[in-house]
Structure 1
Amino acid sequence: MADFGLIYHGDTEKIEGEFADILGDTGGRTWKGISENNNPDWRGWAIIDAILHADPALAKPLRRVELNKKLRASGQLEAATFERMKLRYWDVFWGDRNSSQIVAAEMYDQTVHFGPSRATEHLQRVLNALNRKGVTVADVRVDGDYGKNTHAALEIVLARSGETPIALYLNCLQGARYIELVERQPNGRFEDWIWGFSRRIGL
């Protein structure tokens, strides 16, 4: 079964970065992919605020490296981050029951960036495309809801066709989604971020 710890200590720390407070980001302040506006109840914000309260100058952009060093050193913050990422972005698609580490990692990445509904919708579309016209397994409803039917279909397609085509087409839909976001807002913030988004797509 897929191991969240391996993905968290690899992909999360490599791709999500650390503390960010970017003008125009609707998510607000972000720590390792956890945005404040989408996770206002997360206990990690109190830990971050306590560190900033102890030294307000750390909030300045020029002190960001020093701030991140202090945040990384907090064992409480690390525990809170691991807990929230697993609960909010892994458990929602039954990651511990996924037999493919690669597919689970891709689902986790898309769930962090797009939310669980969009990520699950992408998976459902891919499974329906790869089910050999319903011979391998019947089509699943594309509703963005990860449940027993979607999970069963995933495991059947994995057993029949392997993880590579599933991961490949999930990445294709991820890239297409980024282009859609840019096209909806020409010369907007997504066009500034598209270069960074490309790091999340592995073919």
Structure 2
Amino acid sequence: MFSPPDIDTLIDKVIQLEGDFSHHPADRGGPTRWGVTEAVARAHGYAGNMRHFPREEAVAIYKRNYWYRPGFDRIAQLAPQIAAELFDTGINMGTRTAIGWLQRSLNALNRNRRDYGDIAVDRKIGSKTVAALAGFLAKRGDQGETVLMRALQALQGARYIELAEQRPANEAFLYGWLANRIG
């Protein structure tokens, strides 16, 4: 039996990766601290200077908005590595994007609905998404989680390339995205 990933450990890894305060001129997100953009901090009631945004508030936002609200805790019960990947992708690209990639990947991996039925790509974790993941893992086992992880990372990597192609200023971030978010 496995244990689900510890959300506090996942958050610590994200904060370590994101670093303290940043205000890169090419970053459309503006000032960030602990990986939380100013817009997200403001939406959660923080009114101060982002250089002083408390780590505890970042942790609370990560738990609420990027783990429990999207339902990644439910995914963690079946596939801890996938849940951790969705959490990280959700922070970097949006939780709905991460969930959509999971749903697309599960549909593409169901062998024309022989292993389990297609699910709507509604970008929400619901009972059908959880059931499809369970069906996939029942059919493919531990190696299935690895293959599903590769599918998610392939979609993420392709999106990073697209972002750099669409906006040359994003080339400043492409190497780091690929080095730190894929693999």
Per the normalisation by structure 2, the TM-score is 0.85
Q: Distance in 1 between matches of 2:123 and 2:93?
A: 11
In structure 2, give the amino acid aligned to 1:191.
Answer: E
Larger radius of gyration: 1
Q: Is 1:92 the equivalent of 2:61?
A: no
* Cα pair distance change 1:43/1:105, threshold 3 Å: same
Name the CA distance, whole Å, in 2 between partners of 1:132 and 1:111: 27
Q: Give % identity.
A: 34
Structure 2, unpaired ranges of 5+: none
Post-superposition CA distance 1:174-196 (Å, at most 9, x none): 000001111212xx211111011
Contact 2:21 2:31 in 1 (8 A): yes
Say whether the 8 Å CA contact 1:2–1:100 is kept in structure 2.
no
The number of aligned residues is 174
* Residue of structure 1 equivalent to 2:98: 119
Q: Which residue of 2 aligns with 1:138?
A: 117
- Rounded to whole Å, the distance in 2 between the matches of 1:92 and 1:118 is 14
**Post-superposition CA distance 1:20-40 (Å, at most 9, x none):** 111132211111221112342
Moved beyond 3 Å, runs of 4+: 43-49
Question: Quick one: structure 1 residues 135 and 3, their matched pair in 2 at CA, closer, same or farther if it must change by over 3 Å?
Answer: farther
Shift of 1:170: 0.4
Question: In 1, Cα distance between the equivalents of 2:49 and 2:36?
Answer: 14
1:6 to 2, 6, 9: 9
CA distance in 1, matches of 2:63, 2:86: 12
Confirm or deny: 8 A CA contact 1:16 1:33 kept in the other structure.
Answer: yes
Question: 1:167, 1:91 → 2: CA distance?
Answer: 20
* Separation in structure 1 between the aligned mates of residue 139 and residue 41 of structure 2, nearest angstrom: 38
Q: Which residue in the other structure is 2:166 paired with?
A: 184
Alignment check: 8 A CA contact 1:92 1:116 kept? no
**CA contact under 8 A between 2:26 and 2:170: conserved in structure 1?**
no
Counterpart residue number, 1:65: none
Q: What's the counterpart of residue 60 of structure 2?
A: 83
Deviation at 1:124, TM superposition (A): 0.8
Native 8 Å contact 2:116 2:135 kept in 1: yes
Residue equivalent to 2:20: 18
Tell me what 2:81 maps to.
Answer: 102
Unaligned runs of 5+ in 1: 52-70, 72-76
Q: CA deviation at 1:47?
A: 7.5
CA distance in 2, matches of 1:100, 1:164: 10
**Contact 2:26–2:172, Cα closer than 8 Å, also in 1:** no
TM-score normalized by the length of structure 1: 0.77
